[in-house]
Structure 1
Amino acid sequence: MHWDYGYGMGGWAAVSMTVTMILFWLLLIAAIIALLRSATRGDRSRTDRGSSGSGAAGQTLPERFARGEIDEDEYRHRLDVLRAGGGGDTS
């Protein structure tokens, strides 16, 4: 059987167009998924830090305050330092 799509396009041209279209849509879907993952990863890292500081220091400081190891003034001072990004010494 002879494939004649008009304008001189043969069977291989139709196959290559189909493959190209499938690859285009796969790449587009992959790009959208990658963007969504990076956006949710960014949100997650912002919420993991929480409002009390960053990393282990942000978790240790409230625990030390709750145990009575530091008073409220020292807690607030260290919390301000953590929020400012200074890190500081939490011992």
Structure 2
Amino acid sequence: MMFWYDHDVSGWGWFAMSAGMILFWALIITVVVLLIRALNSPHEHTHVHAPATPTPPEDILRERLARGEIDEEEYRRRLNALHAGPLTKT
């Protein structure tokens, strides 16, 4: 007579073995999926950022007026100075 027939596994034993096997394969599949995603995702340090475009001076004046740093008269004076072009010394 063979020795493994002497040790009967109850219903809970089969349930525990089945649940353990399902959890084992779920863990293996999760690790593989996460590994593939990590290897295929773009790396942050290799991504080149485009230089920021400079803010136009009119927008800066508009923001300063909106924040209350300058009043409307100062805004119009500076805006006219911007549109008049560079000042030349004579």
Same-fold call, TM cutoff 0.5: no
TM-score normalized with structure 1 length: 0.44
TM-score normalized with structure 2 length: 0.44
